[in-house]
Amino acid sequence: MRFVWAVAAFVLAAVMIGAGIAQRTVFQGPTAQTADISVEEEAPYTLIDGAVLNSMPGTQTIRAAADGTVFAAYGRTADLEAWLSDATYNEVSIDDAGDIEATLVEPAEESEPTDAAADPAATPATPDPAATAETTEPAQATGRNPAGSDLWLDEYQQDDLLIVREELPATMSLLVATDGTAAAPADVTISWRLTSSTPWAGPLFVIGGLLMAAGIVLYILGIRHVRRSRGPRRKGLPLPVTEPIDLAVDGADKGVISSVTPTRRGLSGGRKSFIAIPAVAVSALLFTGCSADAWPDLNGTPTPTPTETIIAQDGQQQPAVTEAQATRIIARIASTVAEADTNLDAALAATRLDGTALAERQTNYTLRAALPEHKAPAAIPTSPVFPLLPQAFDGWPRTVLAVVADEENKTANIMTLTQQDQWSDYKLSYLANLEPETTMPDLAPSYIGAPAVQPDSPFLVMRPDALAAAYADILNKGEESEFYDSFEANGDDFRTLVAANRDQRLADFNSTGAQTASLVFDSAPGASAPVALATLESGAIIAVSLTETDTATPTDAAAVIKLPNNPTVKALTGADQSATGFTTTFSDQLFFYVPSQGSTEKIRLLGYASDILDAKVIK
């Protein structure tokens, strides 16, 4: 009976394990869904809409093949469409029937009437044959290379074949191209990994393995029972005495037994290990191949734990950049500016700097060309970016505020970046060192961003366009300024340094020229427009520029202003003395926190930077 149950267990185990294997193989179905993208007309760009990428759930694998370099980038759909607004491209989308289709999109033509068209009576000029001959062959149009644009959230490049695996939301799209001039890759496919769970495969393997083990046990018990039941059930007749075999007699005729037969214990032991080891090995192999989707989900859908979050206001627009995007942009700016600093290349610096930051760099290059020992500007720090506040704005220009650690100098820098349009790179316009022990106001998270504050906003304790003039008045007049009580004096190291520097320079000047000349200091708003982004308390962080001008003029008609110990002014003016005097201008980059209207807080200085900007001989 034990053998019957053992055979039944083996049969059931084979059926269950076979059913589990069938679920994981022949009955499992395809593991991926693939869609081919075909275009009827060639274009330098192919835009794959987010609806196409999300027509199936799961991670999207995009494969693009072409001769040469293949490029792909993803970003917000609105940004990609804005970047392509002046170009011809194929747009891949979902039609009304749910099928994937490619449509050629032409740029909108904005034609202006010519003089001839405006005046119908005008006589057309006779074409010049030479000019006609020169323009017979059309010039090869050069497209815009998409590689390296600051607009992309991420980009990829590879020769001949590019494979991108991402899980993009429906609000993002993918751009595929080569170099922006040649046709985009025609061989493009999208595939999605299909989730085909087999929740009963795991239990079938387990139950089958248990039945197999039970069958082995029953089989062993059956063998043991048969062996024990082989003895006689009643006493038999006496056996004759066995005579010893004489191996020396008739050995050649009767044969000789020369081997020793193993004991029964040895044979049975061998059969046990022969049967048990394969069964255990098979079960182990089956269990090893089971993944999480081979088991039923007994936990159900987890309930998320509520956490305190900041919710964007209705109608708020998207943040200008992500954290990863901002880090990459700052690294690109730092790399370009470092090269410009090394080569004293103001034109290269202008590709990544703007406003006061660019003007200070240009002056530094002029001085270092004339004075090799003049100190180079500090390198732009790149990482880490910890507080990041992008402007929440779908249009242009866009602004980003970031605080970046300067690990070499053990300081932190605050900066603003601006992108003028969708085809431009971000440029650094303000850069300053944070004040020691500065407390930053509460900022919106980077994935939400903050709206820009208009220069004439009445919702702050001081309008952004009036901030520079008010602080300049404090530098000029000190406590006598009408704006002195509006600004927090404690922790404002900049005004302390300015006052001390002016006192020292005035003392040095008066030691030799008090009787024949005068030195006057003046602060005024700079040429750069203020940049302001809102904080969570309805206040704003505002970046402004100031100019500090030192004017040295003779008070005696026979006196001359000399520059015996001022090589910087000599290099900028090209003169070492003047009968009319000199003006030296310094630029200041300042960041303030300005509270909202009705707040009892004062305006706080967050960071500052100052450097020489210009020097001239008074005409």
Please compute the mean of the pLDDT values over residues 189-205 and round it to a whole number. Answer: 74
Residue 11's H or E segment, with its range, is helix 2-24
Please give the Cα distance from 338 to 345 (Å, whole number).
10
- Of 278-282, 473-477, 541-545, 610-614, least confident by mean pLDDT is 278-282
Q: Model confidence at 593, in pLDDT bands (50, 70, 90)?
A: very high
Q: What is the C-alpha separation between 16 and 283, in angstroms, rounded?
A: 12
- Checking phi first, is residue 74 left (phi over 0); if not, alpha (psi -120 to 50) or beta? beta
Residue 187: is its pLDDT beyond 80?
A: yes
* DSSP string for 77-146: HHHHHHHTTTS-EEEEEE-TTS-EEEEEEPPPP-----HHHH-TTPPPPPPPHHHHHHTSSPPPP-----
- pLDDT at 26 (0 to 100): 64
Q: Tell me whether the omega of the peptide bond preceding residue 302 falls within 30 degrees of 0, making it cis.
A: no
Q: Is the pLDDT of residue 37 over 80?
A: yes
pLDDT for res 39 = 87
Give the closest residue to 587 by CA, choosing from 558, 560, 548. Answer: 548
The pLDDT of residue 128: 47
Residue 120's pLDDT is 40
- Rounded CA separation 546/421 (Å): 27
Q: What is the pLDDT of residue 581?
A: 94
Rounded-to-integer distance, Cα 195 and Cα 199, Å: 12
- Other C-beta atoms within 10 Å of 241: how many? 5
Beta-carbon count within 10 A of 190 CB: 23
Amino acid at 150: D
pLDDT tops 90 at residue 343 = yes
> Do 184 and 48 meet the contact criterion of CB atoms below 8 Å apart?
no
pLDDT band at 510 (very low <50, low <70, confident <90, very high): confident
The pLDDT of residue 442 is 95
Q: Checking phi first, is residue 449 left (phi over 0); if not, alpha (psi -120 to 50) or beta?
A: left
How many angstroms separate the first and last alpha carbons of the chain?
Answer: 122
pLDDT band of 45, cuts 50, 70, 90: very high
Alpha carbon distance 381, 434 (integer Å)? 13
**Sign (positive/negative) of CA torsion 118, 120, 126, 129?**
positive
Q: Alpha-carbon distance 370 to 170, whole Å?
A: 56
DSSP secondary structure code for residue 263 in this structure = P
Mean pLDDT of 124-130: 44
Bridging pattern class, strands 561-562 and 577-578: antiparallel
Quick one: pLDDT at residue 197?
61
CA distance 490 to 257: 113
Contact present, 569 and 582 (Cβ < 8 Å): yes
Residue 353 DSSP one-character state: B
Q: What is the Cα–Cα distance from 130 to 45, expressed in whole angstroms?
A: 37
Mention every residue, 6+ apart, whose C-beta is less than 8 A from residue 179. Answer: 68, 69, 71, 143, 145, 147
3 state SS of 562: strand
3-state SS, residue 433 = strand
| Mean predicted confidence (pLDDT) in 259-284 | 44
φ, ψ dihedrals at 615, nearest 5°: -150, 140
Q: How confident is the model at residue 119 (pLDDT cuts 50, 70, 90)?
A: very low
pLDDT bin (cut points 50, 70, 90) of residue 571 is very high
Instruction: Give the residue among 48, 320, 81 at the shortest CA–CA distance from 170.
Output: 48
| Each residue's pLDDT tens digit, 215-227 | 788 778 778 777 7
In which element (H, E) is residue 30 found?
Answer: none
- Average pLDDT, stretch 278-288? 48
pLDDT > 90? residue 188: yes
Q: What is the pTM of this model?
A: 0.77
Q: Which CB contacts under 8 angstroms, 24+ apart, belong to 403-409?
A: 403/434, 403/440, 404/330, 405/381, 406/378, 406/381, 407/381, 407/383, 408/379, 408/381, 409/378
* pLDDT given at position 538: 94
Instruction: Tell me the average pLDDT across 519-538.
Output: 96
- Can you give the pLDDT at residue 234? 55
Q: Mean pLDDT over all residues of the chain?
A: 83
Secondary structure in 3-state letters for 273-337:
HHHHHHHHHHHHHHHHCCCHHHCCCCCCCCCCCCCCCCCCCCCCCCECCCHHHHHHHHHHHHHHH
Region 295-320: mean pLDDT is 62
pLDDT tier, 540 (very low <50, low <70, confident <90, very high otherwise)? very high
pLDDT(305) > 90: no
Structure tokens at 310: 């900041």
Eight-class DSSP state of 446: T
Give pLDDT, residue 459.
96
295 falls in which pLDDT band (50, 70, 90)?
A: low
- DSSP-assigned letter for residue 487: B
In this prediction, residue 239 has a pLDDT band, given cuts at 50, 70 and 90, of: low
Give the tens place of pLDDT for each residue, 459-475. 999 999 999 999 999 99
Q: CA 72, CA 80: separation in Å to the nearest integer?
A: 12
Residue 230 has pLDDT above 70, yes or no: no
- Residue 373 makes CB contacts below 8 A (sequence gap 6+) with none
**Model pLDDT, residue 170:** 92
Which pairing describes strands 411-419 and 427-434: parallel, antiparallel, or unpaired?
antiparallel
Instruction: Map residue 107 onto helix, strand or coil.
Output: coil
> What Å distances lie between residue 578 and 217, 332, 373, 517, 581, CA to CA?
112, 44, 25, 12, 5
DSSP string, 32-77: EEEEEE--SS--SEEEE-HHHHTSSSS-EEEEEEEEEEEEEEEEEH
Nearest CA-CA partner of 219 in 2, 1, 15:
2
Quote the pLDDT of residue 210. Answer: 85
For tokens 């605080």, what's the residue? Answer: 403
Rounded to the nearest 5 percent, the helix, strand and coil shares of the chain are 30, 25, 40
pLDDT over 50 (residue 265):
no
